[in-house]
Amino acid sequence: MPNYFALIPAAGSGSRMEQSLPKQYLSLHEKPMIFHSLNVLCQNQFISKVIVVLAPEDKHWFTYDWSEFNDKLLVFTCGGATRADSVRNGLLAAKQDNLVNTQDWILVHDAARPCLTASQLNKLLHELAGDETGGLLAVPVADTLKRADSENRVTATEPREHLWQAQTPQMFRYEILIQALQNTANKPITDDASAVELMGLSPKLIMSDTQNFKVTYPQDLALAELILQNRKTHD
């Protein structure tokens, strides 16, 4: 039986947040942002280990207490220049330590998606368990899409039929994911699925919801706070 591993690339600086502290450590619901993803992933009964990939120069991680995740958490300080580099380096480090087998499932999740729920995660695991290729959480695009020129003038309205917004976790077998990321080492890919697609495979889109959004801009933090607060109130 394959094992399930989560991998959180957390080596970004989050420059679009306009803060000196990297985004994954910004305070959210009384915890550093990455805590919330870690909490959901570590509590999942099917996931055996959660690997966090930090930037080699990261000094912030070690200033927090992560002991409640001790039985599942593994930390590698091998983050790279891009998200894809961080994921690839983390996968290679896990293999070097004999942690993972080629047929194991890897769930890559952004540190900056703190509103992932246990039920979204279980849905992904359940719907992809027997899948050949793997897939990802995603939502159909809701807004009308405009293509713009360099002066932000509309040049076209794009049909949104069949268009989805990719989220994470993105779940692939180790063997497929590492090969995909090795193949695309110098290409500007922004998620794991696109690397897998370039191998000619078709990852499956698993319906999620917009609350699993990526905290990217300063105003996103308040929305994430409201969502987490609202969940706590209704627990």
Using CB under 6 A, list all residues that contact ligand C5P: 9-12, 24, 53, 79-83, 86, 110-112, 214, 216
81 versus 154: smaller Cβ distance to ligand C5P: 81
117 versus 127: smaller Cβ distance to ligand C5P: 117
User: Smallest distance, Å, CB 171 to ligand C5P?
Assistant: 16
User: Smallest distance, Å, CB 106 to ligand C5P?
Assistant: 14
Nearest residue to ligand C5P, scored by beta-carbon proximity: 12
Half-sphere CA count of 114, side-chain side, radius 13 A: 29
74 versus 131: smaller Cβ distance to ligand C5P: 74
What distance lies between CA 188 and its chain's CA centroid? 17
Sequence-distant contacts of 138-145: CB under 8 A, at least 24 apart? 138/164, 138/165, 138/166, 138/167, 138/205, 138/206, 138/207, 138/208, 139/164, 139/165, 139/167, 139/207, 139/208, 139/209, 139/210, 140/164, 140/165, 140/207, 141/165, 142/210
Among 164, 137, 4, smallest CA distance to 72 is for 4
User: Smallest distance, Å, CB 15 to ligand C5P?
Assistant: 8
User: Smallest distance, Å, CB 217 to ligand C5P?
Assistant: 10
9 versus 32: smaller Cβ distance to ligand C5P: 9
User: Smallest distance, Å, CB 135 to ligand C5P?
Assistant: 19
